Structure 1
Amino acid sequence: MADPGETALERAGDAARRAGRDWNRTGDQALFYWDAVIAIPRALRQYKKETLRLIAEISMGTGALAMIGGTVVIVGFLTLFTGGTIAVQGYSSLANIGVEALTGFFSAFINVRIAVPVISGIALAATIGAGATAQLGAMRVSEEIDALEVMAVASVPYLVSTRLVAGMIAIVPLYSLAALASFLASRFATVVLYGQSGGVYDHYFDTFLIPSDILWSFVQAITMAIAVMLIHTYYGYTASGGPVGVGVAVGNAVRASLVVVVVITLLTSLAIYGADGNFNLAG
């Protein structure tokens, strides 16, 4: 709240200083991302074991999370129920106008272009991303990162670039599982629960499932994984203020990554499908 005794000039100066700090923070964040990306070859050469360990940790989790299968199970279940929801809503809505046979089209169209990428990105932010922020934040506040630097271990390649590589590698099987789970759930709900003919469902599903859409969907998922890992590692690497500061960093990172996931989905849709949509509905 502004001080009543503060002049307009002083308020303008305070606003300019805040804007300057925000701009400097944005620049520092961009430099961190650049350093992390260009250090990937070094991380692959010098820290192979650490990269492999992170791939296993990202995929299957650690501690209590590993008991339920880690990120694999979480992403699978989220997209499984998403695919089922799309089938239920699609069949009910289409049945109102007498074209429930097109439920297979709903599954092939919406799952690939919107639902699976967005849900997978949210799952990545909530599991892999939040875990990376908490790990790096705990290392920062306990001065473990400073200790690595003292021992002549480059902290960005060792801690950040390895996680970036692991995220890009692990997202491919994770996203494949997510897409398959959504497809199976949609077919199960439509054919088993609603009693639609399997042949009818498969006909419309196969007709409208475009291979190039699946390819672009994978590209979108990989882009999301890179963005999520960069954002979360930055907030964890720069955390401060003890355990409370780590919690604040995790919250800020999740919020930022969720926004970025939606923005990437929007920009990808505009870039790929904005002109003609690559879609023709015919009899």
Structure 2
Amino acid sequence: MTTTDAGVRLKQLSKGTVGRLKGSFEALDGHVMFGVKMFAGVPLVLTRYRKHVITEIGNISFGKASLLSGGGTIGVVAGMAIVAAVMVSIEIHRALGLLGFTALSGLAGSIANTQALAPLIASLAIAAKVGTGFTAQLGSMRVSEEIDALDVLGVPSIPFLASVRMVAMLVIIAPVYMVGLLGAYLASRLVIVNMLGESSGTYDYYFRQSITPEFFAYSVLMTVIFSILIAVICCSYGYNAGGGPEGVGRAAGTAVRTTILTIALAAMVLIFGLYGLTPTIPGMGLE
């Protein structure tokens, strides 16, 4: 291969990379603008579409045939939080056992569940169950020209379809998350105390030392921010889907991948921003 051929290939490669980066930034700009329009439509939703919000709350929290699908979103979040808490508790106890500090299992378990594990697990469960539903619903309406029909009839499609779903998610996210967090707490205590034989009094003492109203509020805030990101990204991909049923399927897959990556990045920023880089446990003298 000559020097000229290498230069041409390098130029083509750089041109393709620049094109992909440009497309990524354009997609990001589209999601941001769509999110702005969703937030701008919230007042309209609260004044004109309250019944639709109530309907979406029922669909998100329990859904149809919820007993056959694991109790709806509440059952999925609680189940995933419990399973994750059991696995983390076992590993925490094993790691602390190597150092001879198994009495601190309650402390480590409560910090892990409250500050990182429960918000992430709940958000991923909601993204997989609710977010894909948003994308599929709006995508099917787009390819069947129902959204175009709403625009022709003078119905603001973004507030009516996307903002309604975001408001419904914000209404139910805190109760659903509380159920998942409570399940994680109970599962951690069951594993460490009843299965691994640690003292219940010692576990409860260190558990209470590491839980403060401030940390609890931060945990809920993280989940609320994650739910907003899920609603914006998934509704945006569904609203702008194209290419028939195949395009809707691709949009749903892309929405889930984008949501998971965005949640991971946002979790890193929020954990360091809210809790700091150094451990803070007021009851243990670490402030």
Which residue of the other structure, out of 214, 217, 230, is the alignment partner of 1:215? 217
Distance across 2 between alignment mates of 1:171 and 1:268:
18
- In 1, Cα distance between the equivalents of 2:18 and 2:261? 26
Question: Is the 8 Å Cα contact of residues 57 and 169 (structure 2) preserved in structure 1?
Answer: yes
- Structure 1, residues 128-155: CA drift from partner, whole Å, max 9, x if none? 1011101111111111111111111110
Match of 1:259? Answer: 261
CA shift in 2, pair 1:185/1:17, >3 Å: closer
Conserved? CA contact 1:129–1:232, under 8 Å: yes
Q: Is 1:192 aligned to residue 194 of structure 2?
A: yes
Question: Alignment partner of 1:139: what SS?
Answer: helix
Distance 2:257 2:72 in 1: 22
Compute the TM-score of the two structures, normalised by the length of structure 2. Answer: 0.90
Structure 2 counterpart of 1:33: 35
Matches for 1:99-178 after TM superposition, within 5 Å: 99-178=101-180
**Does the 8 Å CA contact 1:60/1:66 hold for their aligned counterparts?**
no
TM-score of the superposition, structure 1-length normalised? Answer: 0.91
Paired AA for residue 93 in structure 1: A
Residue 5 of structure 1 deviates from its aligned partner by: 11
CA contact (8 A) 1:149 1:155 kept: yes
C-alpha RMSD of the superposition: 2.3
Structure 2 residue aligned with 1:75 = 77
- CA positional deviation for 1:7: 5.0
- Residues 28 and 282 of structure 1: is their aligned pair in 2 closer, same or farther, counting only changes over 3 Å? closer
Q: 224, 227, 240: which is aligned to 1:225?
A: 227
Q: What SS class does the counterpart of residue 266 from structure 1 fall into?
A: helix
Change (3 A) 1:80 1:67: same
Unaligned ranges ≥5, structure 2: none
Partner amino acid for 2:242? S
Instruction: Give the Å deviation of 1:236.
Output: 0.4
Residue 118 of structure 1 deviates from its aligned partner by: 0.9
Q: Percent identity?
A: 32
* Separation in structure 2 between the aligned mates of residue 201 and residue 14 of structure 1, nearest angstrom: 57
Counterpart in the other structure of 2:48: 46
Shift of 1:274: 2.4
Residue 99 of structure 2: SS of its match in structure 1?
Answer: coil
CA offset at residue 278 of structure 1? 2.1
1:162-192: CA deviations, max 9, x gaps? 0110111110101101110000000001111
Partner of 1:85: 87
Partner of 2:245: 243
CA distance in 2, matches of 1:68, 1:155: 32
What secondary structure sits across from 2:266 in the alignment? helix
Alpha-carbon spacing, 1:26–1:89, altered in 2? closer, same or farther (3 Å): closer
Residue in structure 2 matching 1:234, options 215, 233, 236: 236
8 Å contact from structure 1 (residues 86, 106) kept in 2:
no
